[in-house]
Structure 1
Amino acid sequence: MILDNGLKIMSIDATDLFRVEVESTKNKKGKEIKVAKEIVPSGLSSYYDYYDESKDEILHLRNPQLFKMKLDSSMALDELGRVIADRRMTKTAFFNVRRKLATDQVVYLTFKYSSFRSTLEDDKDDKGKVKKYRVDGKTKETIRYMIYDKEDFSFKIDDIEYVRWCRSGNASRQGKCFFINKELVHTMNLFTDCGINPKKRRINLASFEAYRALLLSHKTANLDIRPENILLIKDVKSVFKDKVMYVGLKDKKLFTEEKEMTIENKIWDGQSLIDKSLMGDYQDKGMLLLRHKFFKSCCFNSNIQQWFKDNHITDVSQLNGITTAKRIEDIKFITTRSSIKYCKFGDTESWFYDWLKQISKKNIPFGIVKYEKPTKYFGGKLVRTHYQILNTLQITKNKITELLQQTLDYIELLRKDPLAMYHYCEATSDDEDSDLMMNVKADVIYRMMKLNMSFKDTKLYKHLAKNVIESIRADIKCGRILVNGNYSTVLGNPIEMLQESIGKYEPETTIVGKGNIISTAFPQKQLLACRSPHITMGNIYLPHNTENHLVTTYINMTDNIMVINSVGENVLQRANSMDFDSDQMMIVDNDIMIDAAVKNYDKFLVPTTDIEPDPKEEEYTAKNLAKLDYESSENLIGQIVNLSQVLNSKLWHEMNKEEPNQSYIDRLYKDVCQLSIMSGLEIDKAKKTLIVDNKNELKEIRERYKSKEDGKIGYPMFFKELGKKGNYDSKKTYIFYNTTLDMIGDEIAYKTMTVEGTEKALHKILRKPDIKSRDVDKDKIKAVLELCEQRAKDDKKLGVEKTQLGKSEYNRMRKQTIENFLEDLAEIKMNQATLYTLLTSKDAEKYEDYILQGLLELKSSTLKKLVKTDDTTPTLVEDAAGDIEIYGIKHKKSEVA
């Protein structure tokens, strides 16, 4: 069974597994009310009854509302398909739900609620919503214990008993977990657990659960690497002293102080080198992020065999490492212990050979998770900044005006020239991390103008274009500004890694040089770099871009790879606990930002820590797993990042005064450095056992800065834009600070955003069919509108949760929301009369973008017949001789697209 396109599975909340038994009683006023008595298994089914009029019979079909989750193509999914096929379960385990392949063998369980829905027919409120009851003693935590511990509660759906299987790192931060058919769990665990039996030993649960889930990562392709291709070399540390802002732990409490301390950098932590000849169809890529059993590594395109030849290495006996190869020409992959997570759990003496045996079973290839990509902005030449970096720069008011000028000029062009808007939407209608068109309004403009250029003259175009421009303005207020730069995957000291492979590396020496990087995308000059999350001023990195013959000879660079040095310099902690397992840095070549960074570069010490995770080992029990998953779900990263930006704003506001209070500034910076370290600890707690009470530490810092008058902390004005696009949070107090982001907001606030042009009705570009009232299906129109209303609610909810979810999980959920919408819309077949009536109705006006995007994505033949097509829409193309300049890049009008 080939499952390359993923698989639909059930997604349910834990409380859906229960029903509430209620009893009638009387309140103090003598009124009869219903109260929750207890909860019992709900008897949830994946089927629903459907009356088929044509056959005059009731059909039992899979409920598409339950199958809203997609299990992406992955190594684990490949194995699930093999296991099901081997057991001859294919006909029952796989089925279609709305023409998409699905299974009931895996369930995605969420833990959102601590209250339970009533199942009584008449138990609804005045708005028709099913009432919820809170049952005494039943919280998110206790519900999880009940489900994990089968003695208290048997979790069954359609006679299949499900048991906890595993959870990915992103899912664990929201408390989500995969459950699997009990009959399959043992075999699947043999695959994911790499031969480790956690029930026979005490184990570090956080690490084990994180590493066994590596095989759930979405893969784009496979790559064959044989055991004899691999050379294992040792991880090398650079040890040096530096003066830092040290965050330490004493009596289980954090403290922060200036200190000269000894720092240890793993100079190629999490990275590998792969010979170009081994990369198959991906030889033009600079890196491949690979997965296998208990293996995760960012593998950089290298000329390993050429290195051996140039250094006269002709026999494996000359190598400085461990390998099973007999011939030197077989060595095409160099890695270290830090990439092979099995080393933490395997036998001390034989772990490497045991791991090779595990990955060799069934000749299963490595999974390619991702490779480096340029940004989507102007051919990868520009990058979009974020509020975290801008709010750590002390940019003056006049320089802010200068920084924004190209963006404001571009907005003017978008307002006045529909072709410029068409060009913008063509480039930004999709998302960098998705093959779906995520930017709905931009997508509709692009696709409709491609069909008919006259779409630019419609009222809908003006509405959508204004929304696009308003979205750009909101982005600017949130610090998202296009500047010259890119995102580059970080490669650490690769020549030293090659030297180590043949025993020629001399400790504490560096080929690149301290304070230098190598990037082919930029000239040789000083650049600004930062990693996300970027918390404070001490996280800014100002390297010099250089050239190096050894690097360019043996490393096949692309513009989105950067070589850095971590020998003898505190760059890894400066970049907020960076390593080399595919971490990226935003590199900016913008003189205004660089000058602002240089101004304070030596004033703020790097936040640094030596706090290690708790190495404790526990029994692999349902109780301990429930505790781990619950604690992982209580994620504070959003709160930590937000508070850090509040303190940064207060710090700049104080520094910009004529007579700043230095002791207050020092106190602020110490606290924000502590938040920087806390952010790293919080991110890692899904795979490492946390020994710091971040919740309490966060509370104490917040309390220090609350106003004595109203007890509120005083958020900067730009926070009202983050996540909620201009909506004030009534629980917060907003204050204008003399900080970069608030000054940017002030600069952009009153700029004209209206779109020039006519306002014809949409029907002007539609062919009106011969409509008879009997041909218009009002039920289908109502169904589409209800579907759009639900989509709008889902989008709004996701927007609010965006910061907490993180980029990758937000994109996954957004993609899933769009796919679910498209599947539901595809079920509503409309003839021309019905669709024309829908598109021209008053009720559909606020959902026209959803409807059009959905139908365009589904390649609706009905819509295509309705829209008048002219195929005359040109676009803008980059041309040095062009007369239209956008961000310093010349463009001209092209021929018809």
Structure 2
Amino acid sequence: MGKYGLKIKNFEAAVLYEYNLGLRTSMSMTDAMLSNSLLLDFLEKNGLEDYKGKSTRDVICIKFSFGCNDFKTNMNRLEEQIDKGSCENIEYLEELKEKLKANKERYSKITAQELRTKFYTEGVDVTWTDKKKTTTIHYKMLYRSTGKAKEGSCMFINERLYDKAIRWMRMGIELPEHNAPIVEIGAYASLVGSGIVNRIKIDPKNILVLKDVDSYTKTSVISIETDENKHSFAKKIENYPLKNTMFDGQALIDSSIFPEWGEGYILLRHHFFKAAAFNSEIQLFMKDYFGDEYDTAEVTDMFGRKMKAKDVLLITTDNALKYLKFDVSFEYWSDWVRENGCEFGIVKTAHPSKLGELQRMSYQMVNALDTRKMDSVIKTSLEYIDRLKRDDDFFLDYLRKNANFANDFEVLVALVENDRDFMDSDYFRERRNYVLKNYAMNFKNGRLLQNADNLVIVGSPYAMLLHSVGDDPLSDPTFGVEDVAIQCWTERFDDGEYLAEFRSPFNSLNNLGCLHNKKCKLLERYFNIGKQCIAVNMNGTDFQSRNNGSDQDFSEMGQF
């Protein structure tokens, strides 16, 4: 297997459909990737064929970007090309025209959605031609991942592997004939197909599952409603109850099993399971809480299952366990987890900004701010541009951090490192001016620099520890409620600082808030979330409502 997975081919459904009908003489395809995942691990152990560990034909990707046109539409387009003389080879177009006429009865209008339905229900054939032989493989739709939902692309698998793969992905869950939750099981079964960077072993016997907790606060809101004539109007409501689901999709993981290369948290995936697990001192808390009774102390999960406090290495809630929507027990799920040696996939961890202490704003964020504050908002960016102009080493460091295959930054740096005088050449000066000009253009488009970063959110983590031992999570002493700001804790900023908080993605002016960074000894003792994560008070605040229901199961990012 390659570093990132196996190469596969990506097809356009309409092109594949017409090729199979004989309406095309060739079939275009592009390269795609079957990323390293728990699913790929399973397939490689269960019959997936690959070529030198680099590519496979047993899995393909199909996009449904457009449909097929009928005979009349195709003919009109072809005649327009011939009339315009847009192609040097008119004879070739005339040949296509004759072929079009010969296959007139085969052409029919079919939409992208109709193609999707057809491929989903019937599957599709792909003919592969090698130097020595021609092979036709029938593929069946395996899953449509959430990451590909906007593009409308799906993964199809060789029918030889389909039954085994789909049973494993769905944990053997059988769907009813009527009113089956197809969409839900499709979304959750695909979690094992998420691309991962590494794996971590966690036995279900060391996982404590808690019922999530709702916290309410009352505030004044402006509600957009409609009258009997379906006209919208704004209505101000006092003492409106707002809810935070305090630990929605998050988990705490003991530092003893947290990977050394991780930064603050790891995003975990397994069968019907997804959670952002934050580096914590669970066992230190248990020892402090139970004292002399630590060795024999027990805690109880939401299923009534008792376990030794000293055995708890991961704490999560029911919102992370998607199998609960299908009336499956924890024990049943545990058996499937143990099938692959209890290895959970790690999708990602936190990473610092390439700009060090700085981060770029988007134009949406800038538009949300008071124009009277713009002088202070643009101050850091102007200073940064000025330093790029004056400081040679700073400019070279900028080139190093932003080098990629599409620019010559790496070459420029190498030439300067070979001979410092190269910086005085006309060529380097021209390139520097060009780089600075483009950077200034980004600045004008709202890509302003701030002392900021994208931080991963964890909700009231100490309250989660209290909840794990049966104490009231709403009695969490680490945070208080303020009138203007919501209290938080992060090592990224100084104690006592007030922070502007922008939800990411930033959809509207409503997704802007004010946080107050408060140092806390309890949080410092029991959590190692570092500079790339932020703990936010979910008790008695409007944080989730203010941020369009921001939760932690996808590790929502907030810029501060």
TM-score range, shorter chain: 0.7 to 0.9
**Match 2:469 to one of 502, 515, 519:** 502
Do the aligned residues in 1 keep the contact of 2:362 with 2:447 (CA within 8 Å)?
A: yes
CA offset at residue 180 of structure 1? 0.9
1:400 aligns with 2:374: yes
Q: Is the 8 A contact 1:7 1:102 kept in 2?
A: yes
Cα offset, 1:367, TM superposition? 0.6
- 3-state SS of paired residue (2:381): helix
* Residue of structure 1 in register with 2:9 after alignment: 10
Residue aligning to 1:228: 205
> What residue in structure 2 maps to residue 145 of structure 1?
117
Pick closer, same or farther for the CA change 1:185–1:310 going to 2, 3 Å.
same
Root-mean-square deviation (CA), in Å? 3.3
Instruction: Return the alpha-carbon distance in structure 1 between the equivalents of residues 88 and 156 of structure 2.
Output: 32
Equivalent residues of 1:384, 1:481 under 8 A apart: yes
Distance (whole Å) between structure 1 residues aligned to residue 456 and residue 441 of structure 2? 28
Identify which of 543, 555, 565 aligns with 2:537: 565
Q: Give ranges in structure 1 of 5+ residues lacking alignment.
A: 21-38, 47-64, 86-92, 430-436, 588-897
Q: 2:321 — aligned with what?
A: 340
Q: Which residue of 2 aligns with 1:586?
A: 559
More strand by share: 2
Structure 1 Cα separation of the partners of residues 163 and 229 of structure 2:
39
Correspondent of 2:253 among 250, 253, 274:
274
Pick from 143, 158, 162 the counterpart of residue 181 of structure 1. 158
In the TM superposition, residue 364 of structure 1 has moved relative to its aligned partner by: 4.4
Structure 1 residues 182 and 305: CA distance shift in structure 2, 3 A: same
8 Å contact from structure 1 (residues 232, 323) kept in 2: no
Is the CA contact 2:38–2:192 (under 8 Å) kept in the aligned structure 1? yes
| Residues 72-98 of structure 1: CA deviation (Å, up to 9, x unaligned) | 21111111211126xxxxxxx3125xx
- Residue of 476, 480, 493 corresponding to 1:522: 493
Query: Which residue of structure 2 lines up, in the alignment, with residue 286 of structure 1?
Result: 264
Q: CA deviation at 1:473?
A: 1.8
Q: CA deviation at 1:116?
A: 6.2
Moved more, 326-335 or 285-294: 326-335
In the alignment, what sits opposite 1:192?
Answer: 169
Letter in 2 for 1:302: S
Name the CA shift for 1:450/1:160 in 2 (closer, same or farther; >3 Å). farther
Q: Would you say the 8 A contact 2:170–2:189 is kept in 1?
A: yes
SS of equivalent residue, structure 1 residue 356: helix
For residues 10 and 363 of structure 1, do their structure 2 counterparts lie closer, same or farther at Cα, with a shift above 3 Å needed?
Answer: same
- Shift in Å at residue 508 of structure 1? 6.5
Letter of the aligned partner of 1:74 in structure 2? Answer: S
Preserved contact between residue 378 and residue 449 of structure 2 (Cα < 8 Å)? no
Indicate if the aligned counterparts of 1:490 and 1:564 stay in contact, CA closer than 8 A: yes
Alignment of 1:724-803 (within 5 A): none
Return the alpha-carbon distance in structure 2 between the equivalents of residues 139 and 155 of structure 1.
Answer: 19
How far did 1:280 drift? Answer: 3.8
1:215 equivalent to 2:184? Answer no
| Alignment pair present for 1:111 and 2:64 | yes
* C-alpha distance in structure 1 between counterparts of 2:146 and 2:311, whole Å: 35
CA deviation string 1:600-637 (max 9, x = no partner)? xxxxxxxxxxxxxxxxxxxxxxxxxxxxxxxxxxxxxx
Distance 2:338 2:118 in 1: 39
**SS of match in other structure, 1:198:** coil
Partner SS state of residue 196, structure 1: coil
Q: Identify which of 377, 380, 398 aligns with 1:424.
A: 398
Query: Does structure 1 residue 555 correspond to structure 2 residue 527?
Result: yes
SS of alignment partner, residue 395 of structure 2 = helix
Amino acid paired to 1:184: L
% identical aligned pairs: 26
1:484 aligns with 2:451: yes
SS of 2:222's partner is strand
Consecutive unaligned residues in structure 2, runs of 5 or more = 128-134
Q: Does 1:328 align with 2:293?
A: no
1:80 and 2:43 correspond: yes
Specify the SS of the correspondent of 1:218: coil
Name the counterpart of 1:728.
Answer: none
Whole-Å Cα distance in 2 between the matches of residues 280 and 160 of structure 1? 41
The 8 Å contact of residues 463 and 475 in structure 2, kept in 1 or not, is answered as no
CA 1:245–1:136 in structure 2 vs 1: closer, same or farther (change >3 Å)? Answer: farther
Amino acid at match of 1:6: G
Amino acid at match of 1:7: L
Task: Tell me by how many angstroms 1:269 deviates.
Answer: 0.2
Residues 572-596 of structure 1 deviation map (CA, whole Å, 9 limit, x = unaligned):
1211220112112111xxxxxxxxx
Counterpart amino acid of residue 543 in structure 1: L
Shift of 1:477: 2.1
Q: How far apart are 1:353 and its partner, in Å?
A: 1.7
Q: Residue by residue, what CA displacement relative to the aligned partner does 1:155-186 show, whole Å, maximum 9, x if unpaired?
A: 33331001111111121111111111111111
Could you say what secondary structure the match of 1:178 adopts?
Answer: strand
Distance 1:216 1:556 in 2: 29
**Secondary structure class of the residue paired with 1:393:** coil
Deviations 1:766-793 (A, max 9, x none): xxxxxxxxxxxxxxxxxxxxxxxxxxxx
Q: CA deviation at 1:322?
A: 4.6
SS at match of 1:363: coil
Distance 1:438 1:563, change over 3 A: farther
Contact 1:485 1:586 in 2 (8 A): yes
Paired with 2:21 and 2:530, the residues of 1 have a C-alpha distance of 58
Given candidates 305, 308, 311, the residue that maps to 2:286 is 308
| 1:107 shift after superposition | 0.9
The equivalent of 1:671 in structure 2 is none
- Aligned counterparts of 1:68 and 1:459: Cα–Cα separation in 2: 41
Cα 1:409–1:335 shift into 2, 3 Å: closer
Q: Please state how far the C-alpha of 1:262 moved relative to its aligned partner.
A: 2.3
Paired residues for 1:320-719 under 5 Å: 321-322=302-303, 327-347=308-328, 351-378=329-356, 381-396=357-372, 399-415=373-389, 418-429=392-403, 437=404, 440-453=407-420, 455-456=422-423, 461-505=428-472, 507=474, 511-514=478-481, 515-523=486-494, 524-581=496-553, 582-587=555-560
Q: Does structure 1 conserve the Cα–Cα contact (< 8 Å) formed by 2:14 and 2:112?
A: no
Alpha-carbon distance change, 338 to 247 in structure 1, aligned in 2, over 3 angstroms: farther
Whether the aligned pair in 1 keeps the contact of 2:6 and 2:55 (CA below 8 Å) is yes
Give the superposition deviation at 1:233: 1.1
> Which residue matches 1:702?
none
How far 1:528 sits from its partner (Å)?
A: 0.7
Q: Please name the residue that 1:156 is paired with.
A: 126
Q: Determine if the alignment matches structure 1 residue 94 to structure 2 residue 50.
A: yes
> Which one-letter code corresponds to 2:349 in the other structure?
Y
Q: Aligned partners of 2:37, 2:522: CA distance in 1, in Å?
A: 36
Provide the rounded CA distance (Å) in 2 between the counterparts of 1:406 and 1:354: 55
Aligned-partner residue type, residue 94 of structure 1: D
Q: Does 1:127 find its partner at 2:100?
A: no
Compared CA separation, residues 565 and 253, structure 1 to 2 (3 A): farther
Paired with 2:26 and 2:165, the residues of 1 have a C-alpha distance of 24
Shift of 1:481: 1.4
Q: Distance in 1 between matches of 2:50 and 2:25?
A: 19
Any idea what SS the aligned residue of 2:398 has?
helix
Q: Give me the TM-score of the superposition, normalised by structure 1.
A: 0.54
Cα distance per residue 1:320-350 (max 9 Å; x no partner): 5458675432211111110111111124xxx
Pair 6,506 (structure 1): closer, same or farther in 2 beyond 3 Å:
closer
Deviation digits for residues 238-286 of structure 1 (CA, Å, limit 9, x no counterpart): 123222233568999795533343222110100011110021434x631
Q: Is the 8 A contact 1:493 1:565 kept in 2?
A: yes
Distance 2:217 2:391 in 1: 57
After TM superposition, give the deviation of residue 469 of structure 1 in Å: 1.8
Q: 2:237 — aligned with what?
A: 259
Tell me if structure 1 keeps the 8 A contact 2:249–2:320: yes
1:667 match: none
Shift of 1:189: 1.0
Could you report, residue by residue, the CA deviation over 1:382-401 in whole angstroms, capped at 9, with x for unpaired residues? 111111211101122xx534
